[in-house]
A and B are shown apart, each in its own frame.
Chain A
Amino acid sequence: MSAAAGEPAGGAVSVSFTLGAEGRIRGRLRLSRAFMWLCRLVTYALLALLAVLLLSIVWNSLERLRPDFLSNHYSMNPERCGILAGLWGTFWLVLLTALFSIPIGVGSAVYLEEMAKDTWLMRVIRVNLSNLAGVPSIVYGILGLTAFRPLVIQLQTLFDGRHAVNVLGLFRLRLLKLDIYDGNVLIGAMTMSLVILPTVIIASQEALRAVPSTIRVASLALGATRWQTIWRQVLPASLPGIATGVILSISRAMGEAAPLMMIGVLTVASMCPGGIESPGQLLTEPGRVLSVPFDQFTAMPVEIYDWSKQPDPQDRFTAVAASGILVLLAVLLTVNAAAMIVRYRAGRQLRW
């Protein structure tokens, strides 16, 4: 009624009623339109925010972003400080994390989706999985710190060059001497695998669920065993979906710093794991790769954290941190673009 207050009142009752209704409708439509603009504003504000975020990082990075930023080690001098150690550290960390988490994650998903019967144990596993996905990553860091560190000490005593193992009572195999450090790539990758496993499993489960059951039934009807069906029909069909999910999880591992901080990786590093500083060394000195998992390391997000927190009155490390962020974002963008391409091409090929 209040919306009709501005309308001129007509003589007849019926006329005034329609005029009032019209005004009311106009008011409601105005409200509706205002609401749409509010929602639109909020949505596009997020887009603008992303632009501001990226621009502020680019703007801050201008002072330091030179090619030598990629090839220099850490330095107290922000003019020379570079991200090389973090770049290699993240590379090895992600490689090992993928090696651990992909087989275990996809295996779990296959078991839960294709093999498991609906028992209480399976229900426990499923409920537990969704809860694990919500556990903060820093809690996994505590787990890594407490559960995997003793492992390092065990390995250190085993591989100190004085131990030997008896092989089947036939001969003694002298264990070679390995330098095993605390906070090494192996421990980092094990911890990070636990962080991303729930997301890998859940994404793979969804991809497997998208494969129509007719494929399975047809394969089983032709005499294939359950595993043959999974390996030759279901997995290839769900591979694009699994790959997308896995890549997104891996990119999460690239940006995650909290669990690494907990297990005590280096924040300031002037060496790369295994001493490998260029891709060429992988070919010329392949033996060095063996020492990578046991070597100390740092990762890009950890370095960025350290640079951002650098107590410097002249704020000289801001540009270093911003350049580090740009490198990290560029790597993430490449990885995510790969996921998008996989998804796009698979979407074109597969038609059920």
Chain B
Amino acid sequence: MPTWAARKISRRHETLIRWVLFGCAALSVLTTAAIIFVLLSNAVYAPGTKTAFFERVSLWQFLTTARWKPTDGPRGHFGIWPLLAGTLQVAVIASLVSVPAGLGAAIYMSEYAHPRERECLKPVLEILAGIPSVVYGFFALKFITPWVLKPLFSGLGLEISIFNSLSAGIVVGIMVTPLIASLSEDVIRAVPRSLREAAYALGSTRFDVSTRVVIPAALSGILASFLLAFSRAVGETMAVAIAAGGNPLLTLNPLWGAQTMTGFMVHASTGDSAADSISRMSMYAVGITLFVMTLSINLLSGWIMRRYREVYQ
């Protein structure tokens, strides 16, 4: 039986632990606040003696001009479009690869595969998801471009450069496929068995059940997984920095090199320009664009998931 004094100590002890753990949990909110503060204070408005990026370059120029050359002369050209085009190009190619592949794999594993086969396939997807981004970049640059794309396009009479956004998009697509597959599989498996059996009883084939019953029932989760994968592709850095090259051209030709927003940020941080030079500060403007883009896609994904979820008893 604990004495009165021991109980008092123990209560104080409990309160202390509670506050320490609360501090840990609050750290995540602090991190978000710090990210937003760092981006805003360097891109939009600097409180101290520094001048923020948008105090030197107008937002209008940033959003409407189409030339990105931070080190061109004393002022440079800061039109986000070449970077945005590169990013979207890679992300769209990645989606073209990962949406059919991820959804196909999810349907196969949940509807067709033998449980034992499924147990073997899942780790393969986990391995694909666990391979570091630099490895995919290497694979794109040293295998996909020279051994797959180059013979293919030279057969068609087209020239493909060593750094091209097509190979970057393909590997990013491979990278995010497991994400789509596992998230979609989860929602597909959550569709109750009774719905499938009702459809079979009415004479549906497996194809009918998959495409007319299961996918519509799980559609919100599937769409949410597509959006999450897209946002992951937008934020993907190292594979793209290796495979797509570092030339910010405004082009929609995937056979040429392109620079993405993330690729520029890596490039700018490794360059040896002074810490408060405008080319360095432009990194924060690109960073805030990237942050806002990925955050809004993620929020949209979560909203779709919640808003259109079918709930079964």
Interface residues of A (CB under 8 A from B): 28-29, 31-32, 35-36, 38-43, 45-47, 49-50, 52-53, 56-57, 60, 103-105, 107-108, 110-112, 115-116, 124-125, 128-132, 134-143, 145-147, 194, 197-198, 201, 225-227, 248, 251-252, 254-258, 261-264, 267, 301, 304-305, 308-309, 318, 321-322, 325, 328-329, 332, 336
Contacts and interface: CB of A to CB of B under 8 A. Distances in A.
Contacts of B205: 28-29, 31-32
Nearest to B16: A227
B109 interface: yes
Nearest to A145: B269
Given A136-B262, A254-B132, A131 B237 contact: no
A263 B242 CA distance: 18
Pick from B101, B112, B142 the residue with the most CB of A within 10 Å. Answer: B142
29 contacts: A28-B207, A36-B108, A40-B108, A42-B105, A43-B105, A43-B108, A46-B105, A50-B128, A107-B20, A107-B21, A110-B21, A129-B28, A130-B302, A131-B32, A134-B228, A135-B294, A136-B291, A139-B39, A227-B18, A255-B130, A255-B132, A258-B237, A261-B270, A263-B269, A304-B135, A305-B242, A308-B141, A309-B242, A321-B142
Q: Is the interface of A mostly helix, strand, loop or mixed?
A: helix
Contacts of B236: 136
A264 B134 contact: no
Given A147-B38, A304-B135, 16 more contacts: A43-B113, A46-B105, A47-B124, A53-B135, A116-B25, A128-B28, A134-B232, A138-B265, A143-B34, A194-B31, A254-B132, A301-B132, A305-B242, A321-B142, A322-B142, A332-B132
Contacts of B237: 136-138, 257-258
Interface of B: 10, 13-14, 17-18, 20-22, 24-29, 31-32, 34-35, 38-39, 42, 100-101, 104-105, 107-109, 111-113, 121, 124-125, 127-128, 130-135, 137-139, 141-143, 147, 174, 177, 205-208, 210-211, 228, 231-232, 234-238, 241-242, 262, 265-266, 269-270, 283-284, 287, 290-291, 294-295, 298-299, 302
B269 A305 contact: no
Q: Is the interface of B mostly helix, strand, loop or mixed?
A: helix
A255 B134 contact: yes
B231 A134 contact: yes
